[in-house]
Amino acid sequence: MSGGSVSDVHWVLHVDLDEFLAAVEVLRNPDLAGKPVVVGGRGDPTERGVVSTASYAARAFGVRSGMPLRVAARKIPDAVFLPVDADVYNAVSQQVMDTLRGLGVTVEVLGWDEAFLGVETDDPDEFAALVRRSVLDATRLHCSVGIGDNRLRAKIATGFGKPQGQFTLTRDNWFAVMGDLGAGALWGIGSKTAKKLDALGIRTVRELAAASVDDMASRFGPKTGPWLVGLGRGAGSAEVSDEPWVARSHSREMTFQHNLTDWLEVAEHVRRLAERVTEDIRAEHRPGVRVEVKVRYAPFTTHTTSHALPDPTSDPSVISAAAVSLLERFDQERQVRLVGVRVEMVDGR
């Protein structure tokens, strides 16, 4: 690897900023403090769009990230809805990450509002407290910190520390804390996988950890099955890298305010999105190798399909033609509420 270092650390800390986007908006307008604030889309709940972040006051009413803005508005009609202001969030996030790097540890940025830290210390609790104080002093933002002996445990621990706190999860207390929780409490297991596990009688983390690796491999595949059992046992890497993240792909998507029924119009939108994505990959000087198209039918069912390009290319006509051709694989009798195009690029490392 070049341009970065990797550290096998004794402790992994996961730092997660509390209600980040909403908290930044409160800093910009202190009158919003304590109010239900919902950040998402263009800030108009009558339009189609999803919640990016909700303040804790809004979450008390059941509003969650990824929820349609219209649903959020039904839950809290008098909430403050604000548009996503990416430039401001990027600037604040950079300030947070620079603060973490100033602590002399390896910092692996995961997104606007979270990072893993690789820390050599005899007192991880005190170091986590230092992290929280340092971020608050530098940005006036609160964060929560998960302390673990690997990445998985640190990530999960953060949830127990929220808000404005810290929690330690290691091999020693893994089953005491996690054993009786549902398998869906594990980082990496979504609702679909949890339902599949439930159908097999595997409902808790402890039951997943005790499952037969061979049986799970036969049911979920030779890689996924053993990996799931490992999650149940809290297994994971303790490696934290400060090497800059390199995108594998670029994507663009568009949500329509009214469902489209004319698939010629759908094709035209796909063509334009493909051209925009091509501009993105050309800016990185990395040609595309695979094109994927996503279609969300009304009311809310999403399908994707993809194929490899014959040769790596940054030609917008080739990429857009490939994207449009993929529409033949979709049910063109159905109405469309969203389309997206993603292009995978040659390896940038």
User: Which CATH superfamily hosts domain 8-172?
Assistant: Reverse transcriptase/Diguanylate cyclase domain (3.30.70.270)
Q: What is the pLDDT of residue 246?
A: 79
DSSP H helices, 166-251, are 174-178, 191-199, 205-209, 213-220, 224-232
Domain range list for the chain: 8-172, 178-234, 249-345
Q: Report the half-sphere exposure of 7 (CA within 13 A, side-chain side).
A: 16
* Nearest alpha-carbon partner for 158 in 146, 149, 175: 146
Would you say the C-alpha torsion 323, 324, 325, 328 has a positive or negative sign?
Answer: positive
- The pLDDT value recorded for residue 2 is 38
What integer pLDDT is reported at residue 75 of this predicted model? 97
Q: Coil, strand, or helix at residue 191?
A: helix
The residues that are catalytic are 114
Give 163's contacts (C-beta < 8 A, 6+ positions apart).
18, 19, 56, 142, 144
pLDDT of residue 304: 97
Return the CATH superfamily for domain 249-345: DNA polymerase, Y-family, little finger domain (3.30.1490.100)
In order, the DSSP letters of 156-186 are HHHHHH-SS-EEEE-TTTHHHHHTTSBGGGS
Digits of tens for pLDDT over the chain (349 positions)?
A: 334 555 545 999 999 999 999 999 999 999 999 999 999 999 999 998 899 999 999 999 999 999 999 999 999 999 999 999 999 999 999 999 999 999 999 999 999 999 999 999 999 999 999 999 999 999 999 999 999 999 999 999 999 999 999 999 999 999 999 999 999 999 999 989 999 999 999 999 999 999 999 999 999 999 999 999 999 999 999 999 998 777 899 999 999 989 999 999 999 999 999 999 999 999 999 999 999 999 999 998 999 999 999 999 999 999 999 999 999 999 999 999 999 999 999 986 5
**First vs last C-alpha separation in the chain:** 8
At the topology level of CATH, where does 178-234 sit?
Answer: DNA polymerase; domain 1 (1.10.150)
What tens digit of pLDDT does each residue of 174-207 get? 999 999 999 999 999 998 999 999 999 999 999 9
